[in-house]
A = this chain, B = another copy of it.
């Protein structure tokens, strides 16, 4: 019997990356969950990532530190304010201050590095270009360009002729569709963390773009958010 193929799955601990990991598992991959500790102010998401990786049966879970806070330029790592209570139709219209410069490029580069060490050629990322904050590095053309780069960048691509694939199964799904898919796959969404600006005990602020999009998603999916019930 052929061994299951390996995949590196970027996992922040939010709904999207957790659902993405569940999809990779459902497609028969042995999943190596990769979480990046980049100095985010919402560090509670690292704990969520650990819970989710264990619950979804990741083969391994690695947290890699990279000090993006030293570079600055984002509300998620620096002193810029996280915007609150924006009208939903404005979210994603302009790249917001929560944009972390080149974050997905750094994340995918680290995923590529680990994939190469593991002998994997599949990378999963929960990028979404529908209900998202308008980040440029979540768009299909960006992900295609990274795939190109990966094949030129690595020993596996150059000497062994392997082809890397960047899978973004959520790319064209709405937040409601993502939540329905998560529930179909049995993902326990009470384990996830979403908020960009949580309180001291990790409680969601309810007003940042991420909280607003989460609420919209559960409304669309017609189910309650288990985090609301817990409070």
A155 proximal to B (CB < 8 A): yes
- Cβ of B117 and Cβ of A101 under 8 Å apart? yes
- Report Cα–Cα, A68/B113, bound state, in Å: 8
Asked if B153 contacts A117 (CB within 8 A), the reply is no
A65 at interface (Cβ–Cβ under 8 A)?
Answer: yes
Does A218 have its Cβ within 8 Å of any Cβ on chain B? no
* Range class of the A interface residue count: 35 or more
Chain B min CB distance to A73 (Å) = 3
Q: Given B99, B148, B155, which contacts A155 in the complex, CB threshold below 8 Å?
A: B99
Say yes or no for A114: interface residue by CB 8 A criterion: yes
Give Cα A150 to B148, complex, Å: 13
CB distance from A143 to the nearest CB of B (A): 9
Instruction: Give Cα A145 to B102, complex, Å.
Output: 15
- Chain B residues with Cβ below 8 Å from A94 are 159
Spot the interface stretch: A10-18, A50-58, A133-141, A194-202: A133-141
Indicate whether A67 reaches chain B with its CB closer than 8 angstroms.
Answer: yes
Measured between C-beta atoms, what is the minimum distance from A5 to chain B in Å?
18
Partner of A70, one of B64, B73, B139: B64
Contact A112 B101, beta carbon cutoff 8 Å: yes
Binary interface encoding of chain A residues 63-76 relative to chain B, with 1 for a CB under 8 A from any of its CBs, else 0: 11111101111000
The residues of A with any CB-CB pair to B shorter than 8 Å are 62-68, 70-73, 94-95, 99-106, 109-110, 112-114, 116-117, 136-137, 139, 141-142, 145-146, 148-150, 152-155, 157-159
